[in-house]
Structure 1
């Protein structure tokens, strides 16, 4: 019997603008966000995950795939019902509604209704029980956003990953909270004297609140017990009378790495490697370090006031120099000294907690001696990976994970591990004393009594150790910017950098990164989980797993070689394992995170790019094939992917990452029934032609390919592509149905979707020699068609703009001869004088050049211009946007309505050209205008009819 499967909403329509707005906003939210449980790289926003899952599970009101419309359903009624589903999504994605049970239950009801409709159409078929909603599975669970949101929407949730750190994060979010939901806390309240060091304690304990409360209480106990053991290593400092006298707690000790001066006359005197002598750039608290030179030696003193440091740095990207001899010090010399173990450290400032903010004090020998007195009982001794892209410290002799920590930092982390073990025993004792039972069954073995509860508390207390380690390594630095004045963490990005001066934080202070502060982050995150439905997290290789059988699947697999999760997470694994090996011996059975089977194309691990590419394609094909074979037939599979197309050759632009991934998806037996560009990346990252940073991921909506799919020729494929792509591109750049335009930086990625959807629906596309077309070739053809779309649109431009575009392609902003310009202008049906009159061109002394946007006259207005070209209008809009913002730019756009569409098309075309030729700053300008376009249109629509535009100042 053939299944009757309704088409899902995600295959037809989405309120994408609302989802993207919520996802972008969420990136700036931290307190309470589950991401604060434990650091993970490239997490998906909860809003996007929630919306995708909901749209993946609810039926589109328009009809059944292959069976036409529902009985009695009109197009108008279908659209009305679709809007009702859109309204649910619009409420669902708001951060304020993350735990709003009224909003969530409305979404759950819609999911249940769709499921019951589907089951009614497939009565008697196994797996279609209207009373039993299918479970969810993510085989590349990573940071856990997708499993968490599936659980929030009412699905029993399964998360699996090869990486034990990812598995533990998922256990902490979806498995542990439901197991211990709605229980009262048993931990001891802190004494009055120290209770103010942690946020106010709760009185009501629904859901995971009791668990969170105990994490808070035992976290406080751990801090106090650890301080009682090693507090002497963190002495207070005497405040000068100018700061009121008395003593203050140290926030951080700032150290400079030093290297022996290569000048023989200095007899090996060590000189500092400092990237900045600034301590605080806040106007009311400016402070810096001065290196006071005395003959052939020096010492450091802290200064305050308006002057600023006499030297900015002693090391930068070009190399270093000796502050005593002024002699250059090349990096090659520093590397040699580092690998020989001859780099040292010198204290250059102390940061303290003052009654009115941060105070900065000169170094004291007592504090140096105290730091040197620390003797750790254990040091991680296995080597950092020889991965030059992501791990820079081995070049300078910092070769093991233990080398990333000072002796005092190692003592602190070891002590916290020891005290967490004591806290676990205390939890068991306190639970039994309060009337609880202890059957001795561990959390890992499925227990839910005192022993298992103690294991669970130990997990969260250890997460706080992980968070502390991230701000407690010797590659952490001090941020002197006015808004921060704080420690930067180890993982500011997905790499361990080499830093020259570093900040050694105090985990017992009350500043950012201290242990209690980290407990508070974890507690807030626990209060936002959804413990009403069971969840399970398992360590399983995605290539071998069978968990997906008859489950709803949404996943975010590794992006080719973008992030080496296994290598990066070893930094945390060493401390998680040391603390929890006895609690979860199966999960922490290996000395390090498993790497051999990690689906990341790492050339250094696989012996070169070609071998790494083959490894990725073969492994990802096997993993995706498992999804195609096992996924519940009632639902499409959704896959997130974000990898910048950046490899441009004469034959076109493609990306090895996209090429390899799509090869795997299609080889696994999937066709692509929908694609959505979704704003899932950090909005404050640099976007430009030389950057691999994207604003969006592409959500691929995948269906198992029909076994009777056709084989077609290359000519037939190209015909289908040329029919489908222009309409899809127009929808993307025009922002139809209330959806914002796709930003130019994301267009190449977004265009892959409809193009590869055409390619993937065929069993094969045959070349002239009868061999199947490769995904690489298909991507090249798709990108050429995208380019062709914009080149065709040039025909709608005025002659002057066509000239400027052609000139820009050849010379950008550089001048060239008048003769060349004259020939080109005649070919475009205009003249140099005509282009100059239309604006944007300068012709002087036999040379012609295009004006940059900053050179355009500020007094210009289209109503006062007899000859306005699209080129001129575009660059005036860029000038006003950068100088004055969106509202004045929108008013300017309103004054030239006939040019709006040519300007928008031209901006896309110019971005593409700049991106391909590596002109990052120019590309950014065109991208910014398109991103702002919806806001500009709102300003345009708000302008009163007949209002005079000439009076507006720009």
Structure 2
């Protein structure tokens, strides 16, 4: 059982490593972008802890086949719990209300003939090269080659001065590239626009072209900018002015001819030929037949209102002419493919490619690469945008991709993802050396082709709300899921950006694409624009959990991950579990996010999830039923000790979330016998809130955490604490 066999130090260690470079551990996630994917190693561990035999760390790296086990995920999202269960041979059933989630999981699990896929992808790249390859070439400043490849075109937003009418480049700063991955810092001259490389960022010196002082700070700050012509202060953006204008001001390129003699990256100011090629792209766009470029309006929303404030009102306005040409041509070529699964795979690639082929991507001045539009799980509109080479660049010397955001990058990642499905592996550390261990008896898919035999597995995927899911009573062996975290991510608003393209390309072949948008009033996320509040989230979660509880066999687990920075967001979790007639038998900590993520790094957010394990009947260790804040603190400290043994260094935010998990579990335990699910949802939430307040909440627990909390985010103190014996004889357990 999970409660006894889940090895926190072991799982924490492998999950933490996986989240640092997740695609190296679970290449399957490269099928398509989804948000906040939890580690596959976490769900593999949960399933093996529940259904396997023997210590988890002994069987984790061995083949495990769990035939006859039926697992469901009512919020499949990016599909991690499902494909981990499918890999182990379980029958799997998944639901998601978002058609993009349904489509992504379908592409992850459907069998694909890799040879046919690679052939079609190669033909696509060749055709695109013939049509538009010339638009991504530039002249090398060092050797004069006419065939240097542009990696990134860099654009700055331009505003019109409200007083004199002059164009104002909205540079927040003039530093283009830092000296971490390039020998020098690269600055844009505010006077003449030339690029100058310098050793000092603080005192960059003079422009090599005009001799004027270089500056770090730009004219745009906090929605105000100064006009260099008349000195007036202007405000930006102006929603009434329509989509913002952009000016190309720099290129990063790659020259295969002289790269071996060149140190660092290649940068240049666009020359007349570069500007002329973009003008050619604009002319080509007006002349071509546009079958797939979406003209859909961008609906208002919690995230999309940001786009409206910048004057973006249709999705096509988020792309420049060169991007639209490449995407339209790609769609036309993909649509003519006869092999349905190959066509769907390349259509999925195009949908994922959109993340980098738009005019909201930013350039990382440290890593010197494009940051995709969803890098912060929203639609932040920057002032400097990065246009990636749509085709991608392959290094002839090392057969590797140069740069990011092109077709060759997406195709290579997709091929690796599907190869992983055929031969999944785990990564094990031997000292400091990583060892890739292939698990030959395991595979991911609806079928497996090999040696003249087709082996099939039971996979059922539904694009529907799990609030209407129908399962026979006592038919499931486990429900394992990663539910929405109230208002953390606006999945539908973000995924519409891809959906409007994918729907035009494959929508006629799948009923999931009947709607013009992925937005649904029944989606279980908090959303101000659609009037979805905490009550809506609670009622929906309760309905889903109740249906899952009815479908579970007696004592079978409903296990899910959850974390939020506020205790209030845990109240719906408690209500849903109680409404389902379940008891929370464990709350276990595990790393589930990457601390270096752009949306987490430097914030008080937690990377630690609580795994809630819920059952209709079972036993819990008596020591887990804490009644006083100091006892809860002891449980938290024990969790921290185990996480540290897995090389996790918890922050104060992590500690809060761990405590929130225990407080929620204990509230469920103490309220379960008197709970009335017929109460109005407002009353249920009030009861949970009042109960937690009466117990003192986190503030009461924190008083007994001592240095574990106070010093958490600064210095880790080695502490000696006698570990609680959680498991022993039957007298140490309480039945429920």
- What is the TM-score normalised by the length of structure 1? 0.62
Q: 540, 547, 551: which is aligned to 1:619? A: 540
- Cα contact 1:137–1:553 (8 A) shared by 2: yes
Partner of 1:358: 265
Tell me: CA distance 1:373–1:220, structure 2 relative to 1, closer, same or farther (3 Å): same
Q: 587, 594, 600: which is aligned to 1:682? A: 594
Q: When you count helix as a share of all residues, which structure comes out higher?
A: 1
Partner of 1:417: 331
Per-residue Cα deviation, 1:613-648 (whole angstroms, up to 9, x for no partner): 221111111111111111132521101111112xxx
Per-residue Cα deviation, 1:435-473 (whole angstroms, up to 9, x for no partner): xxxxxxxxxxxxxxxxxxx21111221222123211110
- Cα contact 1:686–1:693 (8 A) shared by 2: no
Partner of 2:581: 669
- Give the whole-Å Cα distance in 2 for the aligned partners of 1:737 and 1:24: 11
- Cα contact 1:732–1:742 (8 A) shared by 2: no
1:21 maps to 2:21: no
Pairing of 1:3-22 with structure 2 (within 5 A): 8=1, 10-22=2-14
Partner of 1:729: 636
Pairing of 1:389-468 with structure 2 (within 5 A): 389=303, 391-422=305-336, 424-425=337-338, 454-468=339-353
**Higher RCO structure, 1 or 2 (CA under 8 Å, sep 6+):** 2
Pairing of 1:370-385 with structure 2 (within 5 A): 370-375=280-285, 377=290, 378-385=292-299
- Quote the offset at 1:759 in angstroms: 3.0
- Give the whole-Å Cα distance in 2 for the aligned partners of 1:411 and 1:790: 57
Secondary structure in 2 matching 1:409: helix
- Give the whole-Å Cα distance in 2 for the aligned partners of 1:156 and 1:754: 32
Per-residue Cα deviation, 1:465-523 (whole angstroms, up to 9, x for no partner): 12321111001122222xx2222211111101112121222212403111012100101
Partner of 1:133: 68
Partner of 2:513: 588
Partner of 2:63: 104
Partner of 1:275: 172
Instruction: Please tell me whether Structure 1 or Structure 2 has the larger radius of gyration of its CA atoms.
Output: 1
- Give the whole-Å Cα distance in 1 for the aligned partners of 2:587 and 2:638: 12
- Quote the offset at 1:335 in angstroms: 2.8
Partner of 1:339: 240
Partner of 1:907: 707
Q: 602, 610, 615: which is aligned to 1:698? A: 610
Extract unaligned runs of 5+ from structure 2: 206-213, 394-402, 422-442, 449-456, 619-623, 722-736
Partner of 1:252: 152
Pairing of 1:419-568 with structure 2 (within 5 A): 419-422=333-336, 424-425=337-338, 454-481=339-366, 484-510=367-393, 511-529=403-421, 530-531=443-444, 533-547=457-471, 550-551=475-476, 552-568=478-494
Partner of 2:732: none
- Give the whole-Å Cα distance in 1 for the aligned partners of 2:140 and 2:600: 47
1:153 maps to 2:98: no
Partner of 2:428: none
Partner of 2:399: none
- Give the whole-Å Cα distance in 2 for the aligned partners of 1:688 and 1:41: 13
- Cα contact 2:578–2:675 (8 A) shared by 1: no
- Give the whole-Å Cα distance in 1 for the aligned partners of 2:108 and 2:539: 31
- Give the whole-Å Cα distance in 2 for the aligned partners of 1:666 and 1:135: 24
Deviating more after overlay: 621-630 vs 497-506: 497-506
- Give the whole-Å Cα distance in 1 for the aligned partners of 2:633 and 2:216: 57
- Give the whole-Å Cα distance in 1 for the aligned partners of 2:279 and 2:594: 43
Q: 27, 34, 37: which is aligned to 2:31? A: 37
Per-residue Cα deviation, 1:384-430 (whole angstroms, up to 9, x for no partner): 342345652210101221211112211211111111112x22xxxxx
- Cα contact 1:734–1:741 (8 A) shared by 2: no
- Give the whole-Å Cα distance in 1 for the aligned partners of 2:308 and 2:46: 42
Partner of 1:312: 217
Tell me: CA distance 1:328–1:534, structure 2 relative to 1, closer, same or farther (3 Å): same
- Give the whole-Å Cα distance in 2 for the aligned partners of 1:286 and 1:371: 31
- Quote the offset at 1:747 in angstroms: 2.4
Partner of 2:187: 288
Tell me: CA distance 1:498–1:470, structure 2 relative to 1, closer, same or farther (3 Å): same
- Quote the offset at 1:760 in angstroms: 2.1
- Quote the offset at 1:360 in angstroms: 1.8
Partner of 1:774: 687
- Quote the offset at 1:20 in angstroms: 0.9
The list of structure 1 runs, each at least 4 consecutive aligned residues, that deviate by more than 6 angstroms after superposition, is 686-690, 770-773
Secondary structure in 2 matching 1:160: strand
- Quote the offset at 1:718 in angstroms: 11
- Give the whole-Å Cα distance in 2 for the aligned partners of 1:777 and 1:221: 64
Secondary structure in 2 matching 1:603: coil
- Quote the offset at 1:49 in angstroms: 1.1
Tell me: CA distance 1:47–1:350, structure 2 relative to 1, closer, same or farther (3 Å): same
Secondary structure in 2 matching 1:460: helix
- Quote the offset at 1:140 in angstroms: 0.4
Deviating more after overlay: 524-533 vs 143-152: 524-533
- Quote the offset at 1:138 in angstroms: 0.6
- Give the whole-Å Cα distance in 1 for the aligned partners of 2:616 and 2:405: 47
- Quote the offset at 1:686 in angstroms: 8.0
- Quote the offset at 1:139 in angstroms: 1.0
Tell me: CA distance 1:635–1:343, structure 2 relative to 1, closer, same or farther (3 Å): closer
- Cα contact 1:640–1:698 (8 A) shared by 2: yes
- Give the whole-Å Cα distance in 1 for the aligned partners of 2:706 and 2:268: 56
- Cα contact 1:601–1:612 (8 A) shared by 2: yes
Pairing of 1:736-755 with structure 2 (within 5 A): 743-755=651-663
- Give the whole-Å Cα distance in 2 for the aligned partners of 1:287 and 1:723: 55
- Cα contact 2:254–2:266 (8 A) shared by 1: yes
- Give the whole-Å Cα distance in 2 for the aligned partners of 1:640 and 1:342: 40
Pairing of 1:635-646 with structure 2 (within 5 A): 635-645=556-566
- Give the whole-Å Cα distance in 1 for the aligned partners of 2:712 and 2:417: 39
Partner of 1:238: 139
- What is the TM-score normalised by the length of structure 2? 0.80
Tell me: CA distance 1:696–1:473, structure 2 relative to 1, closer, same or farther (3 Å): same
- Give the whole-Å Cα distance in 2 for the aligned partners of 1:512 and 1:596: 36
- Cα contact 2:565–2:605 (8 A) shared by 1: yes
State how many pairs are aligned: 636
Tell me: CA distance 1:625–1:558, structure 2 relative to 1, closer, same or farther (3 Å): same
- Quote the offset at 1:255 in angstroms: 1.6
- Give the whole-Å Cα distance in 2 for the aligned partners of 1:54 and 1:700: 16
1:604 maps to 2:563: no
